[in-house]
Chain A
């Protein structure tokens, strides 16, 4: 009896040890290289620091945030980030949705088009950025040359025009990303049981009605996934802007993350950069939660 009990205890201990052994390594790397830096980032946002010597860190309270609030370029970068997110999300979702409807059947032709549309996913944003620099570069970009050939003269060179530069970047972004959203939407479409459509046909439903009353509501869950993935990715946009415009001209295409990079690493203000990073993370968090909340509230109605 007592040996049995003893064995029971040692077994329990052994299990605990195994659990520890299986989870602990991941816990360590995750905590040290992700959670810890994130916390430090928040702490640094309350300091002034050039980033060289740790002993030179000066706590300055909320001064970085106060400065941020008055920083015109910060607000511009935020505005650009929002424009980028909204425009990128809308364009690529509509495009992905239409293409998903057109290509949902599994046959050779749609297989070919799907494969082509998905291809840019494997290219890094740096490659995509450099690729489109050839096309959009202000002085000798191919788009400008092409437009001249067909007789269209631009008032201002591409990317120099402050009003449209950020939207051009959004289009490049869409080029890279819409295939992924399209794929998720196709997977979602194929998961809709065919007999629902058949029932609707018997009831005399037209294709547009079917689209509106069946496809769109049933695709809601996948759409939320697509929006969250594409939205958070767009909030973090960095490489594309860094490569194509570097945030210029005169901060016209500056987005939040390029601004962090410029302030922290180019301008050696780690504390200020951390404050920008912290506010951006907070904004992203709030938007994700709000979006999840409202999309859930919407689903319940059906």
Chain B
């Protein structure tokens, strides 16, 4: 009798749990769903019945938004800035982390502390001087200015990779060293392949970080042809405030690529982001 009641209570709890979870999931999915379906409606339809589904498959919004916003350019710029940024960060941090693990030298701890300092410096503090620095270097309105700034975001990578490299048995490296392998060869041929999962985590972390950056494009870039996705989107939204149809279309175009990427690689991305934050 008692176990029966227990089971009943358990069942009620479970149903309640799923209900709560579903409501939250709905709150996450609905805004994305709404904006996507709205992109297929005319502005009049949106005003008259904002919640209803589109009656026909109207794609003119996309055509028009595409014409105005130059999406290929925006995506290309973001891809160039992000891929170069991530690549540079990865090389710099992997090399330095290796040296920190492999060698003992004077001032090592102070140097590591110095690199850790970056985590305590909020990016908003860098806005004004970085803006001026890029003006002096005549690099404003270039993607290169962004890559340079991103190449200084190394604190996370270097400490994460250091922890990762430390877990590699030192004997392997020593053996290679005795066999006459140069340090650079050991780094390239042994460390890099073994550390692929750790490097992937760093790549994921920085990719999300740099791709979504808005602050530095906002400060460095005025020219239309150099705009990144976040900046271009913001600009579009500012110009066509009352054209919800066009806004919905442009937002959908920019929102889905990262989401699709996430849906395909979600396990790796989830693991990478959580691992990065915890191990760190």
A contact residues vs B (CB 8 Å cutoff)? 15-16, 18-19, 21-23, 25-27, 29-30, 32-38, 40-41, 44, 51, 54, 95, 99, 102-103, 109, 113-127, 130-135, 140, 142, 145-146, 175, 180, 183-184, 186-188, 222, 225, 229, 232, 235-236, 238-239, 243, 256-257, 260-261, 264-265, 270, 273-274, 277-278, 280-281, 284-285, 288
Contacts and interface: CB of A to CB of B under 8 A. Distances in A.
Interface string B254-278: 1100110110001001100111011
Contacts of A113: 21, 25
7 contacts: A25-B91, A30-B118, A127-B255, A131-B35, A142-B50, A142-B51, A277-B125
A44 B96 contact: no
Which 5 pairs across A and B sit closest by C-beta, in order of nearness? A124-B212, A33-B152, A37-B129, A22-B99, A34-B152
A221 to B, nearest CB: 9
- Mostly, the B contact residues are helix
Given A119-B259, A270-B128, A284 B270 contact: no
B124 A34 contact: no
B121 A34 contact: yes
Interface residues of B, number: 89
Contacts of A235: 122
A30 B103 contact: no
Given A119-B28, A184-B274, A280 B122 contact: yes
B262 A117 contact: no
A126 B31 CA distance: 14
Contacts of A130: 233-234, 237, 247, 251
A236 B258 CA distance: 23
Given A119-B262, A142-B34, A238-B215, A41 B128 contact: yes
Contact of B277 (A142, A229, A239, A285): A229
Contacts of B277: 180, 184, 225, 229
Contacts of A40: 129, 132
Contact of A122 (B103, B130, B187, B259): B259
A133 B34 CA distance: 13
A32 B134 CA distance: 11
Nearest to A124: B212
B201 interface: no
Given A18-B99, A115-B270, A239-B215, 6 more contacts: A27-B111, A41-B126, A134-B247, A183-B274, A236-B122, A264-B127
Contacts of A114: 270
B149 interface: yes
A288 B120 contact: yes
Which residue of B25, B117, B131, B152 has the most chain A CB atoms within 10 A of its CB atom? Answer: B152
B42 interface: no
A278 to B, nearest CB: 7
A279 B278 CA distance: 29
A175 B28 CA distance: 7
Contact of A115 (B111, B127, B183, B266): B266
